[in-house]
A and B are shown apart, each in its own frame.
Chain A
Amino acid sequence: MKAKFLRRYSGIRNRGANPKGFHTSQIKFYIVLLPLIFIMLLPIVFIFSNAFKPPDELFAYPPRFFVVHPTLKNFFDLFSKMSTSGIPVSRYLFNSIIVALITICASIVVSSTAAYSLSKKKFKLKKTLFAINTVALMFVPIAVTIPRYLIIEKVGLLDTFLAHILPGLAMPVGMFLIKQFIDGIPDEVIEAAQIDGASDLLIYWRIILPMIVPAIATIGILTFQATWGNTEVSSLYLTDESLKTFAFYLSTLTTAVAGANTVAGQGMAAAASLIMFLPNLIIFIIFQSKVMSTMSHSGLKG
């Protein structure tokens, strides 16, 4: 108690890692960081600024970085327009939202049940299976696009909504992070529940899930990022235009823009890219402390 008090008010703890307050020794770090932060931030600011530019500012010469007369015109254009195949843009956005919501929920259930089993249950293959998952951390999905296509075709998922959802559900990183997090829950908690006669399902539902909320939030965010920005599923596995997602629609806008350079197209693409980015940012800001506490369990033993 006394040591803590001393540490907090003597100023010693304001030097070195994880300080409690400001100290002059930190100035040099700000000097290093701030210019870099400024550069990193530019493209992000540009997304915001560009989305609200009226057409004459989008094509102004010399080009101006910041918007002068912000307008919502680009957004109205975007949502009043049909794609070339007659699907309203709102339909793509709706698809994206539904796909993201279902995938997040399914991914949380799938990863957390498996993680509970690998962390707290005792069975022979436990170590082997976890080792396989650890190897799969380095799995690069993009490398097996073709065999995946063949499988999705064989399983009959081609041109179905499930093609968006199923392939991404087994996410080795997500399962790994939840498992590491559950490892931090003492076995005694579970043993006590078992003595009281709780079934495994009840233990998972009433004890494990409430204790791993940070890890679940993290997996939710990772899943959201992966599905929200995904264009491959729409372009490779689906031909039915009404099943495709907003990210895919945006990708058709940018390639069309590069060729035709239509005035309305540029503005719509700018508005659409803000819509792509904003949910990621908001969700991350809400859950950032949970993500950080999950990450402190992320260690990987070689």
Chain B
Amino acid sequence: MQNSIAIQQESGIRRWLAKEGTAYGFLAMYALLFIVFIIVPVMLAIFLSFTFFDTIQFPKFFGLKNYIALLTQDDVFMKYVLPNTIKFAVLVGPGGYALSFLLAWVLAQLPRIPRTILALILYSPSMTSGVAMAVVWQALFSGDQTGYLNSFLLGQKIIQEPIQWLQSPHYLMTIMLIVTLWSSMGVGFLAMLAGILEVNPELYEAGALDGINNRFQEIIHITIPSMKPQMLFGAVMAIVSTFQAGAIGVQLSGSNPTPQYAGQLIVNHIEDYGFFRYEMGYAAAISVALLLMVLVFTRLANRLFASED
């Protein structure tokens, strides 16, 4: 009796293996790496955020104290990091996204060859890596009179003496925004460009018959609705790269924390606590806050561009 159940079970496993085994076999490598380097780190971050952990002793359970400290006691976070992050995220995220879409749309109105060349130029800033560009920005925005911007403005008599662009709390954030927007035409931009080109031209003809008589109406009523999936993909990419771009302030100013916390973003705050102060538990709580922010923004994008089916 038991024997036959065992045999049945065994053949069940075998049948499952024959049916679905190869599917999981093909997935195995990716799944393993995905679990080890994405899921486990996120879980670990959540776990550590409820503990006190200085990397030497075993994590001590700390309850919600990290989160409470983050919300009530961390002056730097509330006064600089959070406002900076929100300002940066709102301007670079939706700003960069809208810019990507508009440029993609304009490019789509041109014939293939000029379009390809111009798209390449617009995309190329996003290929530059932070380290390589640090050299360029430091030369362009150099604080003494040999800096290109200073030299130009001095020459035009717009300013009287050189400005410490990258060390100044007044200008650092603005320069970070410009630099990040400059490099924001990335994968999402290419996806939207492809999406606009794929819209069935007959839809525009039908739209014209239905009384659409300018290009703006065309974008709102035809182009965007018929490329919602690409719009959503572009939005997700914009959100992720916005939060991922956090290192820019530190790269530009050459120090963490940035001068008077002017360019301090949530990502720098994590690094500050995790790798300089070794308060891993607290840093993990900030990480979780960051992941939650990304989640909220993505939900929002989902609301806007979810396809009906």
Contact = CB atoms under 8 A, between A and B. Distances in A.
Q: Do A and B come from one complex?
A: yes
B116 interface: yes
A138 B191 contact: no
A296 B195 CA distance: 6
Contact of B229 (A126, A150, A301): A301
Interface residues of A, number: 106
B240 A298 contact: no
Nearest to B295: A138
Interface string B217-237: 000000100011110110011
B284 interface: yes
Contacts of B298: 138
Interface string B265-284: 00100110011000010011
Interface centre among A29, A65, A118, A144 (most CB of B within 10 A): A144
Contacts of B204: 16-17
B127 A225 contact: yes
Say which size band chain B's interface belongs to.
35 or more
B88 to A, nearest CB: 14
B134 A254 contact: yes
Interface stretch (B31-39, B63-71, B75-83, B90-98): B31-39
Given A16-B204, A110-B29, A254-B134, A140 B123 contact: no
A161 interface: no
Contacts, number: 318
B175 interface: no
Interface stretch (A18-26, A77-85, A86-94): A18-26
Interface centre among B27, B42, B44 (most CB of A within 10 A): B27
Contact of B30 (A61, A110, A147): A110
A169 B36 CA distance: 11
Given A146-B45, A276-B129, 15 more contacts: A17-B108, A19-B110, A32-B106, A46-B136, A47-B135, A110-B33, A138-B294, A139-B38, A140-B290, A144-B42, A147-B40, A150-B44, A231-B130, A277-B129, A291-B190
Interface of A: 13-14, 16-22, 26, 29-30, 32-33, 36-37, 40-41, 43-44, 46-47, 50, 59-63, 65, 109-111, 113-114, 116-118, 121-124, 126, 129, 133, 136-148, 150-151, 155, 166-170, 172-173, 175, 200, 204, 222, 225, 228-231, 236, 247, 250-251, 253-255, 257-258, 269-270, 272-273, 276-277, 280-281, 284-285, 288, 291-293, 295-296, 298-302
27 contacts: A16-B204, A17-B108, A17-B109, A17-B223, A18-B108, A18-B197, A32-B106, A40-B121, A47-B136, A50-B136, A63-B148, A110-B30, A113-B30, A117-B27, A121-B22, A137-B240, A138-B236, A138-B295, A142-B270, A145-B274, A166-B36, A167-B37, A169-B33, A170-B34, A299-B230, A300-B236, A301-B306
